Amino acid sequence: MILLDCDRVRDLLPDYAAGRLEPATVAAVEAHLRSCDECRGESAIIGLLARHPAPLPGGLEARVLAATAPRRRVPYVPASALLAASVAAALLGGVTILRHTRGPEAAPPAAGAAAAGVDGRGLMMRLPGSADDGLAAGSASLDDLSEDELQSLLKELNS
Amino acid sequence: MSTTAPWHRADAAASEEARLVAEARSGDASARERLISRYLADVYDVTLRVLGDRDLAQDAAQDAWVNALGALGRFRGEASFRTWVLRIAINSARSLARRRGRRREVDLTSAEAVPGGDDPSSGARFSAESDRVADALAKLPEKQRLAVSLRIYQGLGYQEIAELTDSTEGSARVNYHLGIKRLREMLR
């Protein structure tokens, strides 16, 4: 039989409450709990916490799935093609103005018509949100302590 | 009923997670959806513990998934996907808290359906107990609240908690035990 002290048992209690321990360790934790009022009290609180996770709100999954569904892709159009389309559109516009001012002529071949049909949405790529890696700093007091000081504090806490 | 031991299930879960992540990275929409279904409750729990408000926590959970899936190409597999997405969830919640002003203090009671079987008094008791637990947790300082929540609800070890909260393993352990000590006082 494995023998566990209070510190080890308290570290294991969340895994014990969630059924994540191997049978031999479960037996060792339970043997300790039978003989230790303090750890039994802590086990009761952890069991209480474990029985009450935050319930997932109805509709959240559907909402997240909708927000993350892949958008319909707009075909990639190289910038050079857009430039050509702009030039063609400008030329067509110029010809139209000339036709209007000079009278009816045969229409020029619509060389840029297909390109002129390209809209600008190809450039409006939706950039994915980037993960903010800058965690806000919390209280640094514990982080400033050495491992020995943290161990002493733990012993004090558990005494 | 499965008779597989929990530690074997953990290995299988890690391998399934790696496969889903690889498929999601290659553009498989169904793999993305399965990752969301698998870890949404964990992500929501974390955003709720940071923000203390159910509506804001849902907004932050959504932000977290949009950010995580948008950045999936940058996931290097150094931590598990779950740890990685939980870190993004904490960042999204803190970022939302900064945008909305300070953390709301805190009404986590009511509203959600609770298990209680057919007995209304049993359901009411469970609900009241659930409210007490949520209130007590919400009163802890953030680092203690996160350490307790990540340890108990997510089953993370102190090293992973330290990585998620930008602290040391020793600090994470002390924050967890401080949090439990205060919860024992509040919930006795």
- What is the ipTM for the molecules in this complex? 0.81
Would you call A49 an interface residue with chain B, using a CB distance cutoff of 8 Å?
Answer: yes
* Contacts for A67 with CB less than 8 Å, ≥ 6 apart: B62, B65, B66
Higher-confidence residue of A154 and A116: namely: A154
Query: Is B119:B140 a contact under the CB 8 Å cutoff?
Result: no
Please provide residue A55's backbone torsions phi and psi, each rounded to the nearest 5 degrees. Answer: -70, 140
Query: Residue written as tokens 């297909």?
Result: A114
B174 to A142: CB separation less than 8 angstroms, yes or no: yes
Higher-confidence residue of A3 and A36: namely: A36
Mean pLDDT check: name the lowest of A128-137, B70-79, B167-176.
Answer: A128-137
Return residues 93-132 of A near B (CB < 8 Å).
127-132
CA B172, B174, B175, B177 torsion: positive or negative?
positive
A64 to B68: CB separation less than 8 angstroms, yes or no: no
Would you call A159 an interface residue with chain B, using a CB distance cutoff of 8 Å?
Answer: no
Rounded to 10 degrees, what is the CA torsion of B114, B118, B124, B127?
-20
Measured CA angle at B94 (ends B32, B131), to 5 deg: 85
Q: Which among B54, B137, B178 has the least Cβ separation from residue A57?
A: B54
What is the distance in angstroms between the Cα of A36 and the nearest Cα belonging to chain B?
16
| Mean pLDDT value across chain B | 86
Q: How many CA atoms lie within 13 A of B145 on its CB side?
A: 21
Mean pLDDT check: name the lowest of A2-11, A41-50, A113-122, A147-156.
Answer: A113-122
On chain A, the residues whose CB falls within 8 A of the CB of B187 are: 45, 48
Position A153 scores a pLDDT of: 80
On chain A, the residues whose CB falls within 8 A of the CB of B184 are: 41-42, 45
A128 to B54: CB separation less than 8 angstroms, yes or no: no
**Paired tokens of A56:** 């997932």
In angstroms, the CA A96 to CA A102 distance is 10
